Chains A and B, each alone.
Chain A
Amino acid sequence: MPTVQLRKFEKVCDIIDRHGRQAAKLIPILQEVQEEYRYLPEEVMTFVAMSLGLSPAKVFGVASFYAHFALQPKGKYVIRLCDGTACHVKGSEPILGALYERLGLSPQRATSDDLLFTIETVSCLGACGLAPVLLVNDKVYGQVSVQQALGIVDELVKKEGAHADA
């Protein structure tokens, strides 16, 4: 489908143009590209590299260095559990374990096959007064217990199940 392909790169071209095609703006460019695709597809990174006059290896090097860049697609719901010091001492580990178990995921397999859920830990969300903290996409949940965390996930599973049935 050539038309789809063309449109795809048009967006990327827009982003690159907006940053004046400067190689120094590589990180903001990749951030915006990721916002568009929810991850950084390999061919898009190659395209970005060529447009900026960089080698694909250089772009891949930068993308793989920063935790924020995803080289694999992520789920519709990205569940991020804070594992900062405060959250850690207030018991974030049992919550993480329970979430992995409920969704059948693990640190090695963080995204579910149906691309609904991704579980990640983050080093600190800076909401330590509310430890332990859980983030689902952009929504912050504070002072969560294992039961509450599972409840939040169950609710999402139910909602998605209802969509699938309908």
Chain B
Amino acid sequence: MQTLRSPMEVAFEGREGLRKIVICTGTGCIANGALEVKEAFQRELAAAGFATVEHFTQLGQLKGGDDSAYLSKSGCQGFCQMGPLVSIQPEDILYTKVKASDVKAIVERTLKAGELIPELLYANPVNKTRCRSQHEIPFYKSQTRFVLKQCGDLDPESLQEYLAIGGYQAAKRCWTELTAEDVCKEMLDSGLRGRGGGGFPTGRKWELTRVQPEPKKYVICNGDEGDPGAFMDRSVMEGNPHSVIEGMMIAARGIGADEGYVYVRAEYPLAVKRVRQACADAREAGLLGDDAFGTGRRFDVQVMEGAGAFVCGEETALMGSIEGERGMPSPKPPFPAQSGLWAKPTVINNVETLATVPLIMAMGAKVFRGMGTGTSPGTKTFALSGHVLNTGLIEVPFGLTLRDVVHGIGGGVTNRQGKLDAKGFKAVQIGGPSGGCLTQEHLDLPLDFDSLRSIGAMVGSGGLVVMNHGTCMVAIARYFMKFTQQESCGKCVLCREGTKQMLLLLEDIVEGRGSLETLDMLQELGTAVQRGSLCGLGKTAPNPVLSTLRQFRAEYLAHVVEKRCPTGECKALAKPEIAAERCKGCGLCMKKCPVGAISGELRKPHSIDDALCIKCGACAQACRFEAVVGV
């Protein structure tokens, strides 16, 4: 069994005293100013007399010593809300929310004097203790970072660093020592299932393609991550692009392909840039091209940027898009394994799946099976967002419960003001527009392919959006419907027209025109759309509606029977009121009300005049005691 070395180990080898400073340059940290922080480090390190290099290949220029530094960057470390993140090795210090103006202090106090700067350490919001490193932060502590591990350590733009930690070794072994059958068998044995949504066994997909007699075959990496609320594929492509290419090379060896495509979503410009660069570097190093690993066999990869169509995440539509057509799905069978791109046998795998492949090949199928559950081995990344304390990209073994994720890693549910609320949990939306909702009763459900499917939800792409009691489930269902309706390609009548009608019905409900009959029609139409659509988009489009109808029927009933939105989110149904027991009579809402609808004496409960109120919600936003309800 081979294991990958850590980038840290490689950098410090024979260089006593060297410091490695890693700045996270994922999209999130860049938005928060990571590039300015990096510039500040360049300036301050030079001013303090440090011998600094910024690329792995220049490390040889450093001899080590207390005044030498390797200023490196990494892909997304997952904890985007605390960015920019800066870690210092070998001390293992993680500084959060670093500003360019903090850098001088970091260089002088931490690097030179060896002391910690407590203000920059992450503060555990529960007990206010400061956490020195990743290992002490609850957000990271309960995770198993496996596929994402190197995203946070490695310089994504350095092929040399990837090679130095043992990258491309697994692909090399597959190309030079193993037969195609061996490769497919190892994948089958590992039990790896596709991370893109369906959970189809990857090994079986490869084997089906391998046995096709046609000599020309393709490998496609599906990086068209369109689900709103999911961004793991973006992080992997930005943070460790070579792992994806290595995964594709192994797939190519397994099925006998000589050409591959990476299809990246247009909204991810940084991912496009990094994958393109990685391909060019790998080609230059002779890994890709006419003579892969000196075997005389060819494999090369092209990068194609999507053009903004959600349906292209569906494999047949994606292949249409590569061929220069409108991205419309076609019926299966024939499956891509039999007739895919340009009608040739094609393996199409998701980014995360492919990034897992080299790790499995390095550690062996047996060890891999040791993680996760029997039918869902390995780990899964989830994009945790919404009303939780800690949002970001997480990775956990399959089988962890929802409670561990929401309350453990997520740190608990938050209220409208962003404060912890122990009783705030209402639901988790999993799997984006094709998934469903999990509620209180599912908190102890293990998260894996089969147990989620058993309750009508799915892992999907791995978006986990936590919602508190202030979120209206009907409005959420309408939100997803609006999304799928816009993204329906129009091929199947039931998907094209059905989603439009479902959206209109949901709009009737949130605007107070709904009746019990509306709910029945929604149910009937939803079932029809599921049955009458060709591809995954249409088949799963009604899921958010049907699942909320089942689990939050009372909320729908309140909308259609009482014409009331229990959360107050549906403005057309709003009836703002001031809860007398919570109102302190501070008068703030009175001042904020644009139409003068609020009256009351100082220090006594105020009230709202329905006739004047325009339901704008300014009072509820202004109130510091959550006394305004129903808006």
Contacts and interface: CB of A to CB of B under 8 A. Distances in A.
A62 interface: yes
Given A89-B465, A138-B269, A142-B32, A27 B307 contact: yes
B386 A127 contact: no
A130 B310 contact: no
A34 B133 CA distance: 46
Nearest to B231: A126
A67 interface: yes
B581 to A, nearest CB: 27
Nearest to A22: B324
Given A90-B386, A140-B31, A85 B324 contact: no
Contact of A85 (B267, B306, B307, B463): B463
Contacts of A140: 27, 30-31
A122 interface: yes
B175 to A, nearest CB: 28
B81 A130 contact: yes
B137 to A, nearest CB: 15
Interface in B78-117: 78-81
Interface string A16-34: 0000000111111011000
A42 to B, nearest CB: 18
Contacts of B309: 65-67
Contacts of A81: none
A69 interface: yes
Contacts of B483: 123
A105 interface: no
A82 to B, nearest CB: 8
Interface string A114-146: 000000001111111111010000101111000
A68 interface: yes
B147 interface: no
Contacts of A90: 386
B227 interface: yes
A129 B465 contact: no
A130 B476 CA distance: 20
Contacts of A138: 269
Interface in B471-485: 471, 476, 479-480, 483
Q: Chain A interface residue count: which class? A: 35 or more
A124 B385 CA distance: 13
A128 B231 CA distance: 7
Nearest to B390: A129
Contact of A23 (B228, B234, B324): B324
Given A88-B479, A89-B386, A129-B392, A122 B305 contact: no
Contact of B305 (A31, A69, A125): A31
B28 A85 contact: no
A2 interface: no
A126 B31 contact: no
A12 B305 CA distance: 19
B183 interface: no
A61 interface: yes
A84 B269 contact: no
A86 B388 CA distance: 11
Given A62-B325, A89-B387, A142-B32, A84 B228 contact: yes
A25 B432 CA distance: 31
A93 to B, nearest CB: 9
Interface of A: 23-28, 30-31, 61-62, 65-69, 83-86, 88-90, 122-131, 133, 138, 140-143
Given A28-B305, A124-B231, A126-B234, 13 more contacts: A23-B324, A27-B304, A61-B326, A65-B309, A66-B327, A86-B385, A89-B386, A124-B226, A124-B230, A125-B27, A129-B79, A129-B80, A140-B31
6 closest Cβ pairs, A-B complex: A129-B80, A68-B308, A126-B231, A84-B228, A67-B308, A85-B229
26 contacts: A27-B307, A28-B305, A31-B266, A31-B305, A66-B308, A67-B307, A68-B266, A69-B308, A85-B385, A85-B429, A85-B479, A86-B385, A88-B228, A88-B479, A89-B465, A89-B476, A124-B226, A124-B228, A126-B27, A128-B391, A129-B79, A129-B392, A130-B81, A140-B30, A141-B31, A142-B28
